[in-house]
Structure 1
């Protein structure tokens, strides 16, 4: 074997080895690229899932916020309507006239009388526009120890007090309305806002 043949064999072997190393390198590079692509795909899927979760969370938060705002707006509107109804009722109570007003005022005064002892000096207060009516009612024998004492800011009715009994009774239209309103507010609301 000649030197040229040996060199040729070494060269062929070196080329074959280099080819094997290149093939192994390319194979390894393909594996690394494939693994990197898989990792990138997983990262992309995770990022997309995170974005979807955030979008869902934001959507839920905004929806909840919108529902809460709508509920508050509805409640404010209901409160306004109830306020308007209350004002209408107060206006109608203040506008009661004639025999109906006298009958109601007398009934409230008589109801208040149960709180006082016979012989007590009793003072009666009422709405300024009702002074003549109250003085007329107090002229009855039934109310001998009662005197009209002046104005009380109310829609009508009476406030009655006595120093001897240390009692003050608020039997105004306002106080009766307040009691009825509070006791029936749920029913009033249900009737106004039937769904």
Structure 2
């Protein structure tokens, strides 16, 4: 066997081995490429699912936020309407005149007077515009005198140093009590829920 034959045999064997390695490499590369494509498809599917989930969450959050904002605006509008109604009631109480004002003032003073003992020196305070009305009513009460002005819609504030009692029977305080006690009903009537 000649050297050329040996060299040719070695070359042939090297070519065959190289061809086998290249075939294995191509097969392995195809397997890797196939696995990578499967991984990529899985990643894309997961990303799409996650994106859809996040989009749905975002939509739900925005919808929830919009509903909350609408509810807050409705509540704010209702508060404004209730405030307007209260202002109208206060204006009507302040404008009350004649017999109805006198009767209401008498009733409030009579209710307050139950808190004081006979012989107490009692001071009665009221709205500046009601001074004459209060002084005329006080003519029926011994030991009671007009004590001065009180900033209110009407009614009286009655106090005595001896008994250390102060009774606030102003239109304002009565309105506040009635308003608080009946706010739900007032709201239901206004907004018919």
TM-score normalised according to structure 1 size: 0.87
Unpaired runs of at least 5, structure 2: none
Distance of 1:156 and 1:83 partners within structure 2: 20
Residue 152 (structure 2) aligns with: 154
Distance of 1:6 and 1:113 partners within structure 2: 136
Residue 113 (structure 1) aligns with: 113
Equivalences for residues 161-172 of structure 1 within 5 A: 161-172=159-170
Matched residue pairs, number?
193
Q: Alpha-carbon deviation of 1:24?
A: 3.2
Residue 144 (structure 1) aligns with: 142
Change (3 A) 1:138 1:13: same
Change (3 A) 1:148 1:4: closer
Residue 27 (structure 1) aligns with: 27
Q: Does 1:63 align with 2:63?
A: yes
Distance of 1:20 and 1:173 partners within structure 2: 107
Q: Alpha-carbon deviation of 1:147?
A: 0.8
Distance of 1:170 and 1:2 partners within structure 2: 133
Residue 174 (structure 2) aligns with: 176
SS at match of 1:120: coil
SS at match of 1:125: strand
Residue 186 (structure 1) aligns with: 184
Equivalences for residues 62-101 of structure 1 within 5 A: 62-101=62-101
Deviation by residue 1:57-94 (Cα, 9 ceiling, x = unmatched): 22222222222222222221111111111101101111
Q: Alpha-carbon deviation of 1:21?
A: 4.1
Change (3 A) 1:150 1:7: closer
Deviation by residue 1:2-21 (Cα, 9 ceiling, x = unmatched): 99999988877766655544
Question: CA RMSD of the aligned region, Å?
Answer: 2.3
SS at match of 1:161: strand
Change (3 A) 1:3 1:122: closer
Distance of 1:134 and 1:47 partners within structure 2: 81
TM-score normalised according to structure 2 size: 0.88
